[in-house]
Amino acid sequence: MGYMGDYSMCICFPKKFGVTEAGPPVDVKEVFMKYATGGGSGMTVEQLRRFLVEVQGDVEASMEDAERIVEEVFKRRHNNVKLPELALSLEDFQFYLFCVDLNPPLLNKVHQDMTAPLSHYFIYTGHNSYLTGNQISSDCSDVPIIKALKRGLRVVELDLWPNSSKDDVLVLHGWTLTTPVELIKCLRSIKEHAFSASPYPVIITFEDHLTPDLQAKVAQMVIQTFGNMLFCPPESDCVKEFPSPEELKYRIVISTKPPKEYLEDKNLSSRGSNSLKDKDSDEDTWGRMSADLTNDDDKSDCDASEHSQCDGDNEACDQLLRPLGAPAYKNLISIPAGKPKGKLREKLKVEKDKVRRLSLSEQKFEKATVCHGTDVVRFTQRNILRIYPKGTRVNSSNYNPLIGWMHGAQMVALNMQGYGKPLWLMHGMFGSNGGCGYVKKPDFLMNVGPNDQVFDAKAKLPVKKILKVKVHMGDGWHLDFKQRYLNLWSSPEFYTRVGIAGVPADKTMKKTKKRKGNWTRVWDEEFTFQLTVPEIALLRIEVHEYNMSEKDDFAGQTCLPMSELRPGFRAVPLFNRKGEKYTSLRLLLRFEFVQVDI
C-alpha cells in the first residue's frame, strides 16, 4: 500500500466526483470584512498592513511588505500587477492566506544568537550517515550523506575501517554485510555539499577502527580535501571551551577520540585483527552485540560498572600497546570524544577547565536520565552529549528524540535513511532558526540556580502557555495524489489529528470529525493545548482518510516547533512519510497563544 491506499470505486456515485474549490471559511470572511474597505469590496495595501500587524502578529510589517504581497497575489491570480489601485478581493485574500511561501507558519531566516559555544545548541545529527538502508546488509554510499546535507544536517558520522590489504580506509558498518564506500569519496562529497543548506559548521564524527599508520593517512586525506575549510583547534592538550557556530561558519570540524598513540605489540598482532575491532569506538559494533544485550544496560543497578571492552580506554588494552606519536591526526580533532573510566555518574563529571564529547547508546542514556537526570543536564551545559540508536535497530528505526532534547543533549543522532514519527519530530525541531541546523537551547536548560540547581525533567511544572489551534481547511490532495493514489469516483472522508509532542505532561493528540465532500476539506474545529514546557514542544499534525474496511490511509503530516510558531492564519505545508514536502498539499490553520501568569 502507498501513502494512501487506492480508493475503491463506489457504485452509489453515478457521476465522477469532481474537484470543486471551497469558499473561504467563516473566520476568513469575518476578518476580511473587518479590515476591507466599506462593505468588504476590497482590501487595500494599508488595510492589509494593519491585518498583518494586528492579526498575524507581524508587528514590524511595513507598507512595502504589504505591497509586495498584493502584487504577488495579482501576478499569480490575474497575471497583472499594473492595475491603477491594487486591492484584494475576498478570493484574493484567501489565496494569499493559503500560499505557503507568502504566509508560512515559521520565519524562514536565522534569528537566534549564534555566538555562544557549540554546547549551547541542539545540532542536527545523523547516525551511520553513509547507509542507504538497514544496518546489516544495505550499501554504504555518499548519496545519503549528500541528501542529508542538502536537508540541513550538520553532524555526519563515518565509521572508519582498514581495507583487506590494510593500506587504505573504507567507510562501512563494522561486522555486518554492508558494502563499503571509500573514505575519500565521502570526504569529497561532504566538501561539495556541506554548505548547500546552511553556512554553519559541518561536524564529522569518526568512529575510528584504524591503526596509527592509517590514522596518519586519514589526516592527510582530510587536510588535502578540505584545506582552509578545516578548523584546527589551538595547540593545547585540552579544549577548554567550544567555539561558536558563528566563529565556525563555512568550516569543517572533526570530532573523534584522540589517538592513544599506540603501536601494536607483537603479542597484540598475534591475537588477530579482531582485537582492534573496538579501538577508539564509542558505538555498539555488531561484534559486541551479544555482550551488549547482557551488559549493564539491562541491569537495575544504575551505577553498575560497564561491561569491559577493549576500546582503548581500559588497562587491559594499555598493557598490550606501547606509545607511538601521531600528531597530525590528533591535531585535527576540535571536539575530543572519550569515555572516562568508572561508573555512569563519573562519565558525566564536569571538569572545570576541559570540555569533551560523550557518546551514549539510547539504553545507557535512558538509564542516565532515570538515575542521574540533573547530572545529565549539568554535563550538557558545557560538554557535548551524543546519543545513538541501540544496536538492535537493524531496520534503521529510531527512538524518540525528545528525551534527549529535554535533558540538553546536543547531538541526538537518528538514522536519516529511515522514516517514521521520531524522524518527523527531528525534521520539525530543525525547521527552527531558518533551518540552519543549529537551534539555541532554551534558557531553562542552561540556567543554574541556588545550590547548583538545574532543570529537572521529572519535576511537576505549572502550565506556562496555552495554544489554541483552529483547523480551517485543507487542499491539494487531488493534485499530489491523483495519479497514483486517488479514485476521483468516490468521496473521501478526511480527518486531521492535532497534538503536542514534548515532555510527558504536555503530550496529547486530538482529532477533527471526519468530513466528506469535495477534495478541498473544510473542518473549522478548534483545539486547546496547555503547555508546561512550550520551549521544546512540537505541534504534530497528521491527515488521514477514513477507510471503513481497512486501516485509515495516511494523507500527510508535519511537525512545527512551538517556540517559533507564528500567530494568526497560516498556510502549513504537509509532508509524506519520508519527510519530503508535497507540491500542493497544505492546511489553513489559525494559531493563538495565551500567556499564563505563574
User: Hey, which residues are catalytic here?
Assistant: 127, 173
- Kindly list the distances between the CA atom of residue 395 and the CA atoms of 109, 290, 425, 436, 451, in Å, as whole numbers in the listed order: 35, 18, 19, 28, 45
Question: In whole angstroms, what is the distance from residue 140 CA to residue 157 CA?
Answer: 12
Contacts of 25 (CB under 8 A, 6+ apart): 472, 473, 522, 524, 588
- Judge contact between 476 and 485, C-beta under 8 A: no
User: 26: left (phi > 0), else alpha (psi -120 to 50), else beta?
Assistant: alpha
- Which helix or strand (DSSP H or E) is residue 380 part of? helix 362-380
- Judge contact between 579 and 424, C-beta under 8 A: yes
Closest to 532 measured CA to CA, from 566, 562, 498 = 562
Question: In whole angstroms, what is the distance from residue 543 CA to residue 160 CA?
Answer: 42
- Judge contact between 148 and 154, C-beta under 8 A: no
- Which helix or strand (DSSP H or E) is residue 571 part of? strand 568-575
Question: In whole angstroms, what is the distance from residue 531 CA to residue 576 CA?
Answer: 27
Question: In whole angstroms, what is the distance from residue 400 CA to residue 302 CA?
Answer: 21
Question: Across the chain, which distance is largest between two alpha carbons, in Å?
Answer: 93
Q: What is the DSSP letter of 495?
A: E
Q: Residue 78, exposed/middle/buried by CB under 10 A (0-12, 13-18, 19+)?
A: exposed
Q: What is the DSSP letter of 418?
A: S
DSSP helix/strand/coil, 317? helix
- Strands 181-182, 169-171: pairing is antiparallel
Query: Buried b / exposed e across 547-570, counting CB within 10 Å, b at 16+?
Result: eeeeebbbbbbbbbbbbbbbbbbb
DSSP one-letter string for 97-138 = HT-TTTS-SS--S--S---S-GGGEEE-EESSTTBSS-TTTP
Other C-beta atoms closer than 10 Å to the C-beta of 136 total: 15
**Angle between the 26-35 and 90-97 helix axes, to the nearest 10 degrees?**
120
Question: In whole angstroms, what is the distance from residue 121 CA to residue 123 CA?
Answer: 6
Question: In whole angstroms, what is the distance from residue 311 CA to residue 283 CA?
Answer: 10
DSSP one-letter string for 499-535 = EEESSTTT-EEEEPPPEESSSSEEEEEEEEEEES-GG
Other C-beta atoms closer than 10 Å to the C-beta of 71 total: 16
Residue 555 is which amino acid?
Answer: A
